[in-house]
Amino acid sequence: MLFVDTHWLAPTRGAAVAVYLALFTVYLAYRLFGYGLRHTPASVATSLPLAEPAVAAVLGVTVLGERLLAASWCGLVVLALGLVLLTAPVGTGRRGL
């Protein structure tokens, strides 16, 4: 912070933006995330954060109009398949394994 220009914090608008970012995007988000972690099983708590990058990518495509490369779409498919395998019940259709 010593080498970064912080004069944008001096006006009221800059200070309001900093307070908003601190309260809503950091503090409140992590408080809600911690609350959710306390009330979910460990298997769900370890699987859900893996989906966050995929959700962010899909939101970027649908809301912001971003374009993903074919390799990115393939990565999303692999991630989705991995999450399905992680969340599938153990005893479904796996006889003889």
Instruction: Summarize pLDDT for 49-90 with one digit per residue, the tens.
Output: 888 888 999 999 999 999 999 999 999 999 989 888 877 777
pLDDT at site 63: 95
- Predicted confidence (pLDDT) per residue in 10-29, tens digit: 889 989 998 999 998 899 98
- The answer to whether residues 51 and 84 touch, using CB atoms and an 8 Å cutoff, is no
Task: Label residue 92 by pLDDT band (50, 70, 90).
Answer: low
Q: What is the pTM of this model?
A: 0.56
- The answer to whether residues 56 and 92 touch, using CB atoms and an 8 Å cutoff, is no
Is the pLDDT assigned to residue 39 strictly greater than 70? Answer: yes
CB-CB neighbours of 63 under 10 Å: 8
- Residues 95, 15: Cα–Cα separation, whole Å: 61
Output the CA angle 5-29-68, nearest 5 degrees: 75
Helices (H), the chain: 12-20, 29-38, 42-62, 70-87
